[in-house]
Amino acid sequence: MQSQHHMLPLVVNGVSYVVNGKAIIEDVSFTIEDAGLTVLLGPNGAGKSSLLKLCHGLWPLSSGSIRWGDADVQDAKQKQAMVFQRPVLLRRSAAENVDHVLKLRGASSADRARVIEESLEWAGLADIADMPARKLSGGEQQSLTIARAWALNPEVLLLDEPTANLDPAATRRVEDLIRSFAEAGKKVIMATHNIAQARRLADEVLFLNHGRLLEQAPAEQFMSGPSDPLAARFIAGELVE
């Protein structure tokens, strides 16, 4: 899929994130040039979430720089959407949750109505539009947050372990939506510790451990044989500390 990407390449240069003297992210540098689905892979605590949030401009860098194409991290945020591990939904109906972000962006009420309908339709949530969002199942909730992201028409979708708390059926449903996003030409960057999921979805893999980037490679290449020994042990299913 061809698409205009003013946001790429993503250039992360010498980034560190230190909290209370502890380096959560240590001297990480990489470039992401191509569209498609990039997976940040690694064991729990590797710093994947943190890196994602730094790239999204939610946390300040301790050192280094991040640029999305021509834009700096704060300007780039407007053209991105993020999905969190636990679905963050307001205490209102599904449709109103989508309405809320559209209102924040200043859309007219006619536009909002149309986009809400399209997004919920796209995510297969049309029939629960008026249900209280918090009463939906885990899979429906996470699908809703992705529908909400879709409604924003971002150029980049960031996901932080989106299916970590979901059962297989819900996971499949959410993965289908993520794939749709990527197929629509948006850049997708997803953090996960689930190797099988990475195998299913990734075009590109960045492997992290202890706040450091250990390997970056196209997915096929990485999955058949990573160069980094820790990465190799990880995808072999060992517990990597």
Partner 1 sequence: METPQKKLLTGAIVLAGLAALGSYALLSSPKGTTITLASTTSTENSGLLGYLLPIFKGESGIGVRVVAVGTGQAMRMAMKGDADVVLVHHRPSEELFVEEGYGVERISVMHNDFIIVGPASDPAGIKGVTDVAAALGRVRSSRAPFVSRGDDSGTHKRELSLWGALGLQPGDDDGDWYRESGSGQGATLNVASEMDAYCLSDRASWVTFGNKRGLELLVEGDPLLLNPYSVILVNPQKYPHIKAPEGQQFIDWLVSERGQQLIAAYRVEGQQLFFPDALEATEE
Partner 2 sequence: MNEFSNAFRTALHLLVEMDPGLLEVVLLSLRVSLSAVILAAVFALPLGAFVALTQFPGRRGVVILMNAMMSLPPVVVGLVIYLLLSRTGPLGTTGLLFTPTAMVIAQCVLVFPIIAALTRQTVFDLHEEYDEYLRSVGAGTRQKIATLLWDGRARLLTAILAGFGRAIAEVGAVIIVGGNILHSTRVMTTTIALETSKGDLGMALGLGIILVLIAVAVNTAVVTIGGGANQRTV
Closest CB to partner 1 among residues 98, 206? 98
Inter-axis angle of helices 138-151 and 109-122, nearest 10: 130
Q: CB 108 → partner 1: shortest distance, Å? A: 16
Q: CB 110 → partner 2: shortest distance, Å? A: 21
**Residue 95 interaction partner, one of partner 2, partner 1, none, beta carbon < 5-8 Å per kind:** partner 1
Among 6, 114, 135, 233, binds partner 2 (CB under 8 A): 135
Residues 143 and 179 sit within 8 Å (Cβ to Cβ): no
**Distance of alpha carbon 3 from alpha carbon 1, whole angstroms:** 6
104 binds partner 2 (CB under 8 A): yes
DSSP 158-199: EEESTTTT--HHHHHHHHHHHHHHHHTT-EEEEEES-HHHHH
Strand ranges in the chain using DSSP code E only, listed in sequence order: 10-19, 22-32, 36-41, 63-68, 71-72, 80-83, 156-160, 187-192, 204-209, 212-218
Q: CB 179 → partner 2: shortest distance, Å? A: 22
**Distance of alpha carbon 7 from alpha carbon 38, whole angstroms:** 14
91 binds partner 2 (CB under 8 A): yes
**Distance of alpha carbon 6 from alpha carbon 220, whole angstroms:** 27
129 binds partner 2 (CB under 8 A): no
- The residue range among 6-14, 28-36, 84-92, 230-238 that interacts with partner 2, by the rule CB under 8 A, is 84-92
Among 7, 123, 152, 213, binds partner 2 (CB under 8 A): 152
1 binds partner 2 (CB under 8 A): no
Task: Give the tokens for residue 2.
Answer: 């061809």
30 binds partner 2 (CB under 8 A): no
Q: CB 175 → partner 1: shortest distance, Å? A: 30
**Residue 219 interaction partner, one of partner 2, partner 1, none, beta carbon < 5-8 Å per kind:** none
Closest CB to partner 2 among residues 128, 214? 128
Residues 150 and 181 sit within 8 Å (Cβ to Cβ): yes
> Which positions lie near partner 2, rule CB under 8 A?
53, 56, 58, 77-78, 80-82, 84, 88, 90-93, 100-101, 104-105, 132, 134-135, 152
